Amino acid sequence: MRKKEMGKKIVHAGQCQTALGMESGAIPDDAITASSSYKEGSVGPESARIRKEWQGGAWCPKNILNKNSYEYLQIDLYKLMVITKVETQGRFGNGLGQEFTEKFLLEYQREDDGEWIRFRNRQAAEHFSANYNTHTAEMNEVSPPIIAKRVRFIPYTETPRTVCMRVELYGCTWNDGVLSYSMPQGDRRGKHSSDELAFLDFTYDGIIKEDHLYNGIGQLMDGEEGQANFRSDLQARGIKGYEWVGWKTENPDDNIPVQIVFKFDDVRNFTLLNIHANNFYDKDVSVFSMAHVYFSVSGIYYQPNYIDHKFERDSWMEYARTVSIPLENRVGKYVKVELFFDRKWMLISEVSFKSEVTKANVTMELPPLTPAVHTTKAPTIGERLPVDRNINIQIGQDSQQHVEDRSVQTKEATTENDMIGIIVGTLSALIVTLLVVAVIVIILIRHKRSKQNNNRHCLKPVERHIALNMNGMRNMQNGKVSNGNMYNSVAQEEMESDRELCNGGEKLCKSPSYSEPQDSLVGGRDLPDLPGCAAGNSDSRDYAVPDVTKSALIVALPPHTQTPIRVSPANNGTPIMMNNCLTEKPPTYDALYAAADIVHVNVPNIPNLQGVSGNNVYAVPNAELLLTLEHAVVQFPRENLQFVDVLGEGQFGEVHLCEAVNVDGYISDDYFMNRASTHTPKVLVAVKMLRRNADDRARADFSKEIKIMSQLKDPNIVRVLGVCTREEPLCMIVEYMKYGDLNQFLLDHVPESPVAMATNAKTLSYGCLVYMASQIASGMKYLESLNMVHRDLATRNCLVGTNYTIKISDFGMSRSLYSADYYRIEGRAVLPIRWMAWESILLGKFTTKSDVWSFAVTLWEILTFAKDQPFDTLTDEQVIENAGHYYRNDNKEVYLSLPPNCPKEIYDLMVECWNRNEACRPTFREVHMFLQRKNMGYNPKDEKMNQIKVPIC
């Protein structure tokens, strides 16, 4: 009964591989244009016909190409076509030609005057392999197929050279007429990252914003139907369920549909809609229970008489099937489809229409004449799209009855409209009055504060102090400070789209909310009001600060400086101070910091997980629940570890750099796949070792650290490979990377330049820098989804592997090499203040948004090749004073300046990450998406890794 065994291609089989006419001449000369030609009439665009020796024998662009060139051959197909293959050939020129291109890219345009879209295949690669000589034609499959009206061939070369091309396109006419569809992005399924399924539209070529898809086409129209078992991977792409796009609901009875809006090339008469849906009901997946289909000419207002199609639940056969919905010859240019859930999950893989361009006299819809009547119709999952209003369409009709109805409606609405006008006027006057009063109050308050700030002698001493809570960061054991880095976590509201990323499932994500602690000092101070944020950042989460119930440090802020600090872009990325406003000797900070009792507040006791290297690692509010989960960790033979060097040390242990030998059977195969390398006799690892004299608490913390870290699985986070816990000393084996930490790696390189090339210096391209930064953002996005806060994000805590792979670690603070990067408070804590957000320095508040701040400093390090320490012209005390400017909101704070050769949009991202209001900072998901888009097409294999020496540590 399994009628549709999937992986089946329903559109782009043999019937859609016809040559479109470059060779045959079906595509006329005037449809072929180019950005430039070396010689018109000889090697112009009309000569680009494959296997033809016309004129000069091929199209050749005017200039010699390099990797930054943009020259193209453009072919106009005059109507929407499906492109499934392309073919290229060099210039043979009857034996005289020597030019061809080794690589090329494709761009396409779907609508007249629309955006040009860069093609990317299912692995997100842009480049096609082309030719290796002048006469052999090379065929390339276009997967997913392109739906376009115009196509551009863009020759690409790594080294300067002259190129020429001849081309052909293969495909068929796009009869569906769909220009784009817009809908919510799909959801992820799975309680653990190891078995997670991402039912996303991976190949969507439109705009992706806030988990919504706009104005593009993707997997719903790529011709591939999904298999009934959505966990299969028949195409061996490495992504289970790749063909399916799916959404979930917590309660199908809520009747909240998924809304998909289709835009067509012209007004059409529709007869049939086909939706291929999954019905694996044993896994809580079912065909939609009901579909509503609306039609519109304008795309603004929709006809109220929608098509209502109900699907009877099938609890007998689990095969996927195509559901056909008759469309009754309805007319429109836009079709809105609302699909209602029958079970928790709804998966679809293909949508197609049967329609024809209509010749009927169609009029545009009119707006409603009266306010819309309130209904109980449920909102849709796609309600971020423009609100749809229902209105009749008049097709070639002139109805007298319709005119009379409008007249009656107008009369009936007159009295109601008058009353509404009176009410609106009264409310408007009241609102204006309240606004005026509010403005006056704000002015008086600001005036009062200004007078207080200008009369320093009138300030009470306690009001000049800020509680600097260090409990969450203290790495103390028996009164001693250990050298280590901190991961920490605080409770947050669950993000729906990331819930199932959490290891351990939904119950681990559902943490009890933490209350914000009260001011820690009697007669405490008010934090100046933070500016409001744009709606786009309204999803930021509030966090409680770490435990402040025991003690804290108090810093007295130096008095206001009278001259603003300014940033000098020309000063090597280092801030300068006008009139030496910070060069005056600051107060003695030994006197400013003192222990103080804190007013007790009801903050949950967040476990402090002490790492053997001194790091407070992966402390989560749900730690005790997490520790109950069983997760096997491989016991690794101690004799297979060969000591190389000491990386760092803490109070109870050390971190050793070792080589692991004979790893087969102990380290999983996916570890080697993630490293993009084959099995080797030796693997570089870091070994966290607990000293024999460690006390019981340290041993318990070590065991907790192993359990928690072993459940973290992300390609950009170091992972636990094994343990040695059957005899002393106890060891935990974690990843280490071939080229050491990112800070030293950057210092060993210079930016690309003619001088660097001439001297054979080791260089890194700008694309490589952004590529590495995007990996850091990806790893932090993973920690953010688990509600974990790193608290020491910097280049020293990132490791570099083959092909510029980056993994986030926590060894930096334990290394003496980086002792100057930390501000030490005797008996209290070690703080990376130059990377910390102002609220972390002054208020002891650490959240994922303070990590975002640190990420921007890390990005600044990357783009400056870590040549200077952040704020290197400021002392530690002046850095704290700068945090005080943020606190007082006096507009005297100083930023790290624009790095050399840094685009403005990248620096704008940094500045946004340094926003005073943490709620206005972007999430790591947004940062990661932004950097990925800015670096599309970059291939790390193009960099010269062979010139890099392998550091030991």
pLDDT tens track for 452-498: 444 333 333 333 334 444 444 444 343 333 334 444 444 343 333 33
124: left (phi over 0), alpha (psi -120 to 50) or beta: left
Nearest in space to 228 (alpha carbons), one of 261, 274, 195, 276: 276
Q: Specify the 3-state DSSP secondary structure of 187.
A: coil
Average confidence (pLDDT) over 61-80: 94
Nearest in space to 861 (alpha carbons), one of 759, 776, 804, 929: 776
Four-point Cα dihedral 384, 385, 387, 390, nearest 10: -140
Query: CA 46, CA 29: separation in Å to the nearest integer?
Result: 5
Kindly report, residue by residue over 122-146, the tens digit of the pLDDT: 988 999 999 999 889 999 999 999 9
Burial environment of residue 21 by CB neighbours within 10 A (0 to 12, 13 to 18, 19 or more): middle
Domain 178-357 shares a fold with domain 622-736: no
Residue 758 pLDDT grade (very low, low, confident, very high; cuts 50, 70, 90): confident
Interacting residues of 306 by C-beta distance below 8 A, sequence separation 6+ = 292, 293, 294, 295
- Ranked by mean pLDDT, the top range of 146-155, 596-605, 656-665, 869-878 is 146-155
What pLDDT is attached to residue 669?
Answer: 56
Q: Which residues are catalytic?
A: 792
What pLDDT is attached to residue 533?
Answer: 57
Residue 820 pLDDT grade (very low, low, confident, very high; cuts 50, 70, 90): confident
In this structure, what token pair is assigned to residue 835? 């990377």
Residue 544 pLDDT grade (very low, low, confident, very high; cuts 50, 70, 90): very low
What pLDDT is attached to residue 728?
Answer: 85
Please give the helix or strand (H or E) that residue 946 lies within, else none.
none
User: In the chain, what percentage of residues exceed pLDDT 90?
Assistant: 42
More confident residue, 558 or 304: 304
In this structure, what token pair is assigned to residue 335? 């079709």
> Domain 18-173: which CATH class?
mainly beta
> Domain 178-357: which CATH class?
mainly beta
Is CATH 3.30.200.20 correct for 622-736? yes
Helices then strands, counting H and E runs in the chain, come out as: 14, 42
Average confidence (pLDDT) over 883-897: 93
Sheet holding 465-468, edge to edge: 465-468, 551-556, 595-597
Query: Per-residue b/e over 259-273, b at no fewer than 16 CB within 10 Å?
Result: bbbbbbbebbbbeeb
What pLDDT is attached to residue 80?
Answer: 95
Average confidence (pLDDT) over 526-554: 39
pTM of the predicted model over 0.85: no
What pLDDT is attached to residue 614?
Answer: 54
| Topology at the third CATH level for domain 743-941 | Transferase(Phosphotransferase); domain 1 (1.10.510)
What does the domain layout of the chain look like in residue ranges? Answer: 18-173, 178-357, 622-736, 743-941
Please give the helix or strand (H or E) that residue 296 lies within, else none.
strand 290-296
In this structure, what token pair is assigned to residue 638? 């101690």
6-20, 387-401, 784-798: segment of lowest average pLDDT: 387-401
